[in-house]
């Protein structure tokens, strides 16, 4: 088995890391403190090709493999979770469903602008009463002549209410299946459509520079041409979208763990107590050693899941494993990193406290850790 990255993948890591250090690191704390989504920074990320990395060049994408995209997310998350969230959601949840399930006309209409970073797109799944239980959705779409009438709401939707948001993919109940279960269909909904309102959410603990929104649909009328794929395909589309999204959230955990570890290692080597760097004390050195081992294990699991996907082999079980493990590894690493910083780790001027806060969303988004364990247990036959 060849564990080496290709020259192209190594170059992507190098260039994205350089960009993150130069363009994101100097303003990450300020954006976090101000809870400010930065459209110019997002467009810069688009200019260097961070949107549409796995999309065919036919639609102005980069035509790269999924691992290359995951490496890019990892490197952004190594510096800032908010900007990594913008990239991860913009690709896996925004671009992905249109690219994989959209009609040719829908792809040509939306993908070039989304791949360039000119605009972003959201994925409306979660509702106030339907988080882990997606079957609890209440948003409905009812046919009326040649149109569908959409009513309901969504919550915690990334990239859906910022200056660059073009629209959102909305999953709605469109009827009942023969077995009595709800039929789900996804619709493409553009901003400016009458009856559609998107409201930014503030006062978040984490990802404060990422755009998060509540969405409201009040008799929104959509033409049949706005159906994503076919009527009734929404549940299948949701599951496939979440499989890919788990890898990007896992990449955020991996990159965030690496970033927190880097900060802790640097601090431990520079901070002196009792006449020597605290990295020389076994209590600190063992924490750092444990972090290094867990990050290495997380990276190997994540890259294997991506390798399976790129080889068109079953990867869903490994996506759930990678999302679960990488997310929780970041939690343990960020906790050690704050502990190593001592009192300084609790202050906003030290980046490590931001990593500590940003991690918590990874245990919840794209399926909670509990849901990942349910998914994995089913794959192993429990």
Is residue 55 within 8 Å of residue 111, measured between CB atoms? yes
The pTM is what?
0.95
Q: Which residues contact 53 (CB under 8 A, 6 or more apart)?
A: 61, 62, 64, 68, 69, 72, 91
Six-digit token string for 39: 């459209």
Would you say 184 and 232 are in contact if contact means Cβ atoms under 8 Å apart?
A: yes
Count of positions (residues) in the chain: 382
Cα distances (Å, whole numbers) of residue 249 to 81, 176, 357: 10, 32, 15
Q: How far is CA 323 from CA 155, 297, 326, 335, 362, in A?
A: 22, 13, 6, 18, 8
Evaluate whether the domain defined by 236-379 bears CATH number 3.20.20.80: no
92 in Cβ contact with 247 (< 8 Å): yes
The yes-or-no answer on residue 75 being catalytic is no
Q: Comparing C-alpha atoms, which of 56, 24, 95 is closest to residue 248?
A: 95
Q: Which of 10, 35, 366, 370 is catalytic?
A: 366
Name the CATH superfamily, with its identifier, for domain 122-232. Answer: Butyryl-CoA Dehydrogenase, subunit A, domain 2 (2.40.110.10)
- Chain centroid to Cα 320, Å, comes to 14
Q: What is the C-alpha to C-alpha distance for residues 317 and 143, in angstroms, rounded to an integer?
A: 37
Question: Contact 330/257 with Cβ under 8 angstroms?
Answer: yes
Within this chain, domains 7-120 and 236-379 share the same CATH topology: no
CA distances (Å), origin 128, targets 2, 76, 249: 46, 30, 22
**pLDDT of 22:** 98
Q: What is the pLDDT along the chain (382 residues), one digit of tens a residue?
A: 688 999 999 999 999 999 999 999 999 999 999 999 999 999 999 999 999 999 999 999 999 999 999 999 999 999 999 999 999 999 999 999 999 999 999 999 999 999 999 999 999 999 998 887 777 789 999 999 999 999 999 999 999 999 999 999 999 999 999 998 999 999 999 999 999 999 999 999 999 999 999 999 999 999 999 999 999 999 999 989 999 899 999 999 999 999 999 999 999 999 999 999 999 999 999 999 999 999 999 999 999 999 999 999 999 999 999 999 999 999 999 999 999 999 999 999 999 999 999 999 999 988 999 999 999 999 999 8
The answer to whether the beta carbons of residues 153 and 170 sit under 8 Å apart is no
For 69, the token pair is: 């995209």
Give the CATH number of domain 7-120; options: 3.40.1260.10, 1.10.540.10, 3.30.390.50, 3.30.70.360: 1.10.540.10
Decide: 280 and 355 in contact? Cβ < 8 Å. no
| Domain residue limits, the chain | 7-120, 122-232, 236-379
């Amino acid at each position: 088995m060849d564990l080496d990255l290709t020259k192209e993948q190594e170059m992507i890591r190098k260039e994205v890391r350089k960009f993150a250090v130069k363009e994101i690191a100097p303003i990450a704390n300020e954006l976090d403190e101000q809870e400010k989504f930065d459209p110019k920074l997002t467009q810069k990320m688009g200019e260097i090709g961070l949107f549409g990395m796995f999309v065919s060049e036919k639609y102005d994408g980069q035509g790269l493999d999924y691992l290359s995209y995951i490496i890019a997310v990892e490197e952004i998350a190594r510096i800032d979770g908010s900007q990594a969230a913008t990239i991860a959601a913009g690709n896996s949840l925004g671009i992905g469903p249109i690219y994989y399930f959209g009609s040719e006309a829908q792809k040509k209409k939306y993908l070039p602008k989304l791949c360039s970073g000119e605009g972003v797109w959201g994925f409306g799944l979660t509702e106030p009463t339907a988080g882990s239980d997606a079957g609890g959705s209440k948003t409905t779409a009812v046919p009326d002549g040649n149109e569908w009438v959409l009513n309901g709401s969504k919550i915690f939707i990334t990239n859906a209410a910022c200056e660059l948001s073009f629209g959102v993919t909305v999953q709605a109940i469109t009827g009942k299946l023969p077995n009595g279960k709800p039929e789900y269909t996804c619709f493409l909904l553009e901003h400016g459509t009458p009856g559609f309102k998107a409201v930014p959410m503030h006062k978040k603990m984490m990802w404060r520079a990422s755009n998060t929104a509540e969405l409201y649909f009040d008799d929104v009328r959509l033409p049949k041409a706005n159906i994503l794929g076919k009527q009734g395909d929404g549940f299948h589309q949701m599951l496939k979208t979440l499989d890919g999204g788990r890898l990007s959230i896992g990449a955020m955990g991996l990159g965030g763990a690496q970033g927190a570890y880097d900060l802790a290692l640097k601090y431990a080597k520079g901070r002196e107590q009792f006449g020597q760097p605290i990295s020389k004390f076994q209590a600190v050195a063992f924490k750092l050693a444990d972090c290094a081992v867990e990050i290495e294990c997380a990276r190997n699991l994540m890259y294997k899941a991506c390798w399976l996907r790129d080889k068109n082999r079953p990867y869903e079980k490994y996506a759930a494993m990678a999302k679960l493990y990488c997310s929780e590894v970041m939690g343990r690493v960020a906790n050690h990193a704050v502990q190593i910083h001592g009192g300084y780790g609790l202050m906003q001027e030290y980046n490590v406290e931001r990593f500590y806060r940003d991690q918590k969303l990874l245990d919840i988004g794209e399926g909670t850790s509990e849901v990942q364990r349910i998914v994995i247990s089913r794959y192993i036959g429990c």
